[in-house]
Structure 1
């Protein structure tokens, strides 16, 4: 006869589980959930080519058909997807299909909002007077080239020596040919960083990029002219004041 202590001891011993019982329990347990496959993950994503096109535009500010034809076509074929990506960033895509050009635009600020230069993705580097004047001169060369070769032609070139006398009209002479040349080369190098011109080639020429037609549009050029007039008037007023004090 089994005593009370024998029954208590037997109850506290670990129950031996047979191997077949372990297998049965393993089959019935849910176990770790399988990871979502890569194929299913891609179902809801924006197409890869469209993502790459937007990344290229955000990196350089523009996308040229002549430079990246596949990405250009991908963005143009799915403009709604591109706009969905850019809209939360307060950006939009400008389209110049005649010149084969897509470019990033800052959406117009609403009433009470800051201006475009406050946008966190826009470089806070305003063009100075010398750069703006050179852009205006280059745009004139580009327009003449398009009038002769047709809108959409993208090999507008200008020699460095052609730009020197045109800038002298506005900026005056430095008194040194080497100084004049270095000034133009330095300005061209700065504009190259904005994607407006190519590097100077072996024949001392640069290619003017089509984006210049949008950066130096009539509205911006009118603003530049108004600013120059204000500067001239301010200088004239200052000179008049100095003359009055001397008198």
Structure 2
């Protein structure tokens, strides 16, 4: 019920002048505290973009991005989930990498092994030489961790140290230059997988921590089975002659 005081006290909204309205229109930050922003923060977008582009983030090379992975792992996984992807972290070794999520694995494993179907993940098959070299590098990496501890220092190995082991399995071509060129060529291929660095001026390569996950016991067992099968095949041919 209205009374005399209603007519005496002016309505605040009715007292807003044209100049007040113009001032508010010219100030886009007016009532900014009441606005809600949507979308993925730019720092998380950068991490996801790098993961989708390279597949791996190495702490030694991109410290800031790796730290964001650690801090925002849950959010990153939520953003990758619609793509059937997730991020896996190895904080001890300082590496983050993309893997096919469990839901995506179920679909892939239900098909034939040769029918890889994930639209964003390309399966790249390694040659026998590359697989052998990864096994040799993995052994050097494990020995270093046993001596120095996990994630304590970068693992470096000289090309001259790798060459004798590499030739033991693949045979000597009879030319030192050809043998070294063969090894350097395979190291260059593995660099693209994020397993090793480029050969430096001291003829050394840095073994990246991703190798601990790429060359796991299952993949090494599969490699051993292939080598045994090839050895049996060669032995059978020699005995038949």
Q: Is the TM-score greater than 0.5?
A: yes
Q: Which residue number corresponds to residue 128 of structure 1?
A: 127
Q: Give, in angstroms, the shift of residue 233 of structure 1.
A: 2.3
SS at match of 1:104: strand
How many Å apart are 1:42 and its aligned residue? 8.2
- Secondary structure of residue in 2 paired with 1:182: helix
Aligned partner of 2:54 in structure 1 is 60
Kept after mapping to 2: 8 A contact 1:198/1:209 = yes
> Contact between 1:93 and 1:102, CA under 8 Å: does it hold in 2?
yes
Offset at residue 121 of structure 1 (A): 2.1
Counterpart of 1:112 in structure 2 is: 110
1:183 aligns with 2:177: no
Cα deviation per residue 1:78-117 (whole Å; 9 max; x = unaligned)? Answer: 2221112211212111110111111111232346346584
Structure-to-structure mapping, 1:156-167, within 5 angstroms? 156-167=155-166
Q: Secondary structure at the match of 1:152?
A: coil
Counterpart residue number, 2:172: 173
Structure 1: distance between partners of 2:168 and 2:141: 19
- Secondary structure of the 1:43 match is coil
Inter-partner Cα distance in structure 2 for 1:124 and 1:73: 28
Seen in structure 2, the aligned counterparts of structure 1 residues 101 and 42 have a Cα distance that, compared at 3 Å, is farther
Give the unaligned 5+ runs of structure 1: 1-38
Q: 1:78 to 1:233 in 2, by over 3 A?
A: same
SS in 1 for 2:178: helix
Question: Match of 2:98, SS?
Answer: strand
- Over residues 20-46 of structure 1, what are the superposed CA-to-partner deviations in whole Å (9 max), with x where a residue is unaligned? xxxxxxxxxxxxxxxxxxx99982212
1:165 Cα deviation after fit? 0.6
Q: Is 2:96 the partner of 1:102?
A: yes
So what's the TM-score if we normalise by structure 2? Answer: 0.78
Q: Secondary structure at the match of 2:106?
A: coil
Aligned residue in 1 for 2:70: 76
Paired residues of 1:53 and 1:74 also in contact (CA < 8 A): yes
Aligned to 1:63, what secondary structure does the other structure show?
strand
Asked which structure has the greater CA Rg, the reply is 1
C-alpha displacement of 1:146 = 1.2
Contact 1:157 1:205 in 2 (8 A): yes
Give the number of equivalent residue pairs. Answer: 207
Q: In structure 2, what is the Cα distance between the partners aligned to 1:86 and 1:102?
A: 14
Match of 1:33 in 2: none
Q: Output aligned runs, 1:204-219, within 5 Å.
A: 204-219=203-218
Distance in 1 (alpha carbons) for counterparts of 2:234 and 2:134: 24
